[in-house]
């Protein structure tokens, strides 16, 4: 009885350096919107519940929720840091790819990275501005104004 052995190569896995090259542009595009979404959801949950837990608005948050405002500030500062890091990453990628003039596969990769960097410029700085406005709102608006 003869046994047939197939010697096919396993499916090709992209080189690790190619995956690392995609992390920066993807973080530049999606880092700031993800930070804004996290900030928005956490702020809404933490700021709204102490003021209206049972469909009856409170004039002020209960004393047991004194930790609420400092946590909201920490969430906003962390969101600002992540959004700023994403915007700076996108800006650095945009500047780094400005002079790339290769041909063929390198040109396609350079165009792709430059396009993602441009998208990251818009999302990064735009959502950083939105997070900053939400932070100012947290400072200027009283906790419960019911």
Q: pLDDT digit string (tens) for 5-46? A: 555 555 455 455 666 677 888 999 999 999 999 999 998 888
Q: What is the pLDDT of residues 68-117, one digit of tens each?
A: 788 899 999 999 999 999 999 999 988 887 766 655 555 666 777 888 88
Distance CA 26, CA 30 (A): 6
| Residue 66 reports pLDDT greater than 80 | no
Among 131, 129, 123, smallest CA distance to 39 is for 131
pTM, rounded to two decimals:
0.75
In the prediction, which pLDDT does 18 show? 60
């Amino acid at each position: 009885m003869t046994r047939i052995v197939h010697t096919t190569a396993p499916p090709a896995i992209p080189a690790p350096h190619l995956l690392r090259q995609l992390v920066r542009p993807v973080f530049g595009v999606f880092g700031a919107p993800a930070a804004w979404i996290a900030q928005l959801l956490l702020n809404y949950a933490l700021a709204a519940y102490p003021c209206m837990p049972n469909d009856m608005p409170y004039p002020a948050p209960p004393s047991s929720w004194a930790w609420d405002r400092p946590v909201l500030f920490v969430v906003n500062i962390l969101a600002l840091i992540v959004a700023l890091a994403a915007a700076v990453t996108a800006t650095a990628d945009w500047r780094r790819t400005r002079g790339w003039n290769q041909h063929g596969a390198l040109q396609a990769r350079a165009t792709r990275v430059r396009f993602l960097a441009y998208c990251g410029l818009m999302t990064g700085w735009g959502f950083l501005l939105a997070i900053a406005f939400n932070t100012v709102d947290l400072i200027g608006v009283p906790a419960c104004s019911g």
